[in-house]
Amino acid sequence: MSISVDEVKKVAGLARLGIPEERLDEYSTKLNSILGMMEQLSAIDTKGVEPLSNPLDSVQRLREDVVTETNQRDKYQTIAPEVEEGLYLVPKVIE
């Protein structure tokens, strides 16, 4: 498996990362070397090994269904760039 310059652009776009045109080759090379290492890993026989979803060998603690949070809107909104009528304002996302 290898990752082309176009794929680097696409993944960067999805992650909203700005990568300068002149460094795309470098990213492609580095990512390919990481993927190469992954391929080495996939050579290992993992039959009968349960996939690990979290490195902590433990299970999720659950919370009782109780409302514990109170309204702190004014405090939270002091660091927001812009608010109006209690809403956070952001650049318009649709036409």
Partner 1 sequence: MEWETVIGLEVHTQLSTHSKIFSGSSTNFGAEPNTQASLVDLGMPGSLPVLNKRAVELAIRFGLAINAKIAPKSVFARKNYFYPDLPKGYQISQLDLPVVAQGHLDIELDNSETKRIGITRAHLEEDAGKSLHEDFHGQSGIDLNRAGTPLLEIVSEPDMRSAKEAVAYLKKLHTLVRYLGISDGNMQEGSFRCDANVSVRKKGEPFGTRAEIKNLNSFRFIEKAINHEVERQITLIESGKKVVQETRLYDPDKDETRSMRGKEDANDYRYFPDPDLLPVDITSADIERALAELPELPEAKKQRFIRELGLSANDVESLTASREVADYFEAVQQQLGDAKLAANWVTGGLSALLNRQGVEIAQSKVAANTLGELLKRIKDGTISASAAKDVLDALWNEEGSVDQIIEQKGLKQVNDTGAIEAMIDQILEANPSQVAEFRAGKDKLMAFFVGQAMRASKGKFNPATVNEILKQKLEG
Q: Name the residues that contact partner 1, by CB under 8 A.
A: 10, 14-16, 51, 53-54, 56, 58-69, 71-73, 76-77, 82, 84-94
CA distance 2 to 70: 50
CB closer to partner 1, 11 vs 24: 11
Instruction: Provide, rounded to whole angstroms, the least separation between the CB of residue 91 and partner 1.
Output: 6
Distance CA 17, CA 9 (A): 9
Token look-up 């992650």 returns 15
Q: Nearer Cβ to partner 1, position 47 or 63?
A: 63
Give the type of residue at 93.
V
Q: How far is the CB of 92 from partner 1 (least distance, A)?
A: 5
- Residue number, 22 or 86, with CB nearest to partner 1: 86
Which tokens in the block code for residue 8? 């680097």
Task: Work out how close the CB of 22 gets to partner 1 at its nearest, in angstroms, rounded to a whole number.
Answer: 25
Query: Angle between the 5-14 and 24-42 helix axes, to the nearest 10 degrees?
Result: 90
